[in-house]
C-alpha cells in the first residue's frame, strides 16, 4: 500500500471497493466515486462550500416529514428522477420493441390507502366541488401491447385541487380528497368525476426552495393528473397526464413533461355544459407487479 496523494486517492478508493461481493453494489459505488472525484477535481470546493453541501444534505433529512419528502423533491428538481424514468421507459419495451405508456415521476404525494370507488364516481368532496366551471370528467381505457383491453386493472388516481393543493397540504379539504381507486370493466374502461386540477409550486420551505430561489427558477409544475395502474402479470404503470393548455408545459420544475403524456383537457361547449373532459388511454407491459414505497403514509 502506498501513501495517499491527491493523484492516487481515486484509485485507492476504487481498489478498496473492488472487494465488495455484491456485483451491482460494487459497480454502482465504483462509478459513483469515479464521477464524484471527477466533480470535486473540476469544481475544487472550498472547505466552506463543502460544509454548505453537507448542510444541504442534512437539511433534506430535516425537512422530510410524514407530509413531505424533501429527498425525492431534490432528485426531482435536479432532473435526476426524470432521467431515471426515461432510461427505464426504454428498458420496459417488449421484445418486439413495443412500448407501454411512458412513465413519469411518482412524486411526493402518492398515498397507498386511498378509497375504492365504483366506476363513474366523484372523488371531489371538499369546498372545491362547488366550483361548477372547474367540473372535470376523466375517462380512459387500459390495454396490453396487442391492444387487448385489460379487465379488472386497478386505476389509482390522485391530483391537486383547482387551487393547486393536495388534500394533505390543505386543511379545507377532507382526508383522501381528490384521490381514489377504480377497476376497469370488461372493455378495459374506467371513468371518474372530479374538479380540474391546477398547476402548483413544489414545496419551497426547505433547502430545495432555497436552491430554486438562488437559481431564479419558477417552482411551478403544470396541471396534471397522477395515475398508478396495476394488475397481476403486468408491470405497475406510474405516470402523469399533463394539461395541454397549461403555459408551463416547457418549464416544469421537475422536467417531467414528455410529449406523449400531454392530454387534451377539452372544454365543454354545450349550452348547459361547463367544465372539462380528459380522455387518455394506457398500455401496460407484461411483467412483475412491483409497487413503490409510499413517500407519505
Ligand atoms: Fe402532482
Long-range CB contacts (< 8 A, 24+ apart) of 5-11?
9/37, 10/34, 10/37
- Between the CA of 242 and the centroid of ligand 1 the distance, in Å, is 10
Distance in Å, CA 82 to ligand 1 centroid: 14
Distance 255 CA to ligand 1 centre (A): 13
- Return d(Cα 38, Cα 45) in angstroms, integer: 12
Identify the CATH homologous superfamily for domain 70-283.
Answer: Aromatic compound dioxygenase (2.60.130.10)
Ligand 1 centroid to 16 CA: how many Å? Answer: 42
Q: What is the pTM of this model?
A: 0.88
What's residue 14's pLDDT?
Answer: 97
Q: How does residue 92 score in pLDDT terms, banded at 50, 70 and 90? A: low
Q: Which helix (H) or strand (E) holds 239?
A: strand 237-243
Instruction: Determine the average pLDDT of the residues in 198-217.
Output: 96
Q: How far is the CA of 10 from the centre of ligand 1 (A)?
A: 40
Range 131-149 average pLDDT? 93
Cα 97 from chain centre: 24
Lowest mean pLDDT among 118-122, 168-172, 260-264: 168-172
**Which pLDDT belongs to residue 2?**
87
Going from the Cα of 286 to the center of ligand 1, the distance in angstroms, rounded, reads 26
User: What pLDDT digit, counting tens, does each position of 13-45 carry?
Assistant: 999 999 999 999 999 999 999 999 999 999 999
286 beta partners = 234
Mean pLDDT value across residues 97-107: 83
Cα 255–Cα 51–Cα 253 angle in degrees, nearest 5: 10
Residue that is written with C-alpha cell 422530510 in the block: 64
pLDDT digits (tens, 9 = 90+) for 212-266: 999 999 999 999 999 999 999 999 999 999 999 999 999 999 999 999 999 999 9
Contact 103, 237 (CB under 8 A): yes
Number of other residues whose CB lies within 10 A of the CB of residue 296: 17
Q: Are the C-beta atoms of 282 and 229 separated by less than 8 Å?
A: yes
Q: How confident is the model at residue 130 (pLDDT cuts 50, 70, 90)?
A: confident
Q: Which of 201, 120, 192 is nearest to 164 (CA)?
A: 201
Cα–Cα distances in angstroms (integers) from residue 265 to residues 58, 133, 149, 269, 273, in the given order: 41, 13, 23, 12, 15
Ligand 1 centre and the CA of 244: distance in Å? Answer: 15
The overall average pLDDT reported for the chain is 93
Domains of the chain by residue range? 70-283
Give the whole-angstrom CA distance, residue 266 versus residue 272: 15
Cα 145 to averaged position of ligand 1 atoms, centre (Å): 27
User: Can you give the pLDDT at residue 94?
Assistant: 63
Q: Which of 81-85, 127-131, 176-180, 285-289 has the highest mean pLDDT?
A: 176-180
Q: List the helix and strand counts (H, then E) for the chain.
A: 6, 12
Amino acid at each position: 500500500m502506498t501513501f495517499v496523494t491527491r493523484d492516487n486517492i481515486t484509485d485507492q478508493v476504487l481498489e478498496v471497493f473492488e472487494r465488495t461481493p455484491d456485483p451491482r453494489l460494487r459497480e454502482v459505488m465504483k462509478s459513483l466515486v469515479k464521477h464524484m472525484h471527477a466533480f470535486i477535481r473540476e469544481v475544487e470546493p472550498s472547505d466552506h462550500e463543502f460544509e454548505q453541501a453537507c448542510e444541504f444534505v442534512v437539511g433534506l433529512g430535516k425537512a422530510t416529514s410524514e407530509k413531505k419528502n424533501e429527498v425525492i423533491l431534490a432528485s426531482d428538481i435536479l432532473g435526476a428522477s426524470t432521467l431515471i424514468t426515461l432510461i427505464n421507459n426504454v428498458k420496459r419495451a417488449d421484445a418486439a420493441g413495443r412500448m407501454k405508456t411512458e412513465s413519469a415521476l411518482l412524486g411526493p404525494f402518492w398515498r397507498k390507502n386511498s378509497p375504492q370507488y365504483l366506476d363513474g364516481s366523484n372523488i371531489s368532496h371538499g369546498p372545491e366541488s362547488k366550483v361548477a366551471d372547474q367540473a372535470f370528467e376523466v375517462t380512459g381505457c387500459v390495454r396490453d401491447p396487442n391492444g387487448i383491453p385489460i379487465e379488472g386493472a386497478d386505476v389509482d388516481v390522485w391530483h391537486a385541487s383547482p387551487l393547486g393543493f393536495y388534500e394533505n397540504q390543505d386543511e379545507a379539504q377532507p382526508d383522501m380528497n381528490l384521490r381514489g381507486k377504480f377497476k376497469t370493466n370488461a372493455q378495459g374502461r374506467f371513468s371518474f368525476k372530479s374538479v380540474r386540477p391546477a398547476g402548483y409550486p413544489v414545496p419551497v420551505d426547505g433547502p430545495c426552495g432555497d436552491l430554486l430561489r438562488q437559481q431564479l427558477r419558477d417552482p411551478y409544475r403544470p396541471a396534471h393528473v397522477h395515475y398508478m395502474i396495476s394488475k397481476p402479470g403486468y408491470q405497475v404503470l406510474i405516470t402523469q397526464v399533463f394539461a395541454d393548455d397549461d403555459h408551463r408545459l416547457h418549464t416544469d420544475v421537475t422536467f417531467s413533461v414528455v410529449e406523449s403524456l400531454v392530454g387534451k383537457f377539452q372544454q365543454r361547449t354545450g349550452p348547459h355544459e361547463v367544465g372539462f373532459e380528459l380522455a387518455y388511454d394506457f398500455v401496460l407491459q407484461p411483467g412483475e407487479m412491483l409497487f413503490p414505497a409510499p413517500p407519505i403514509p
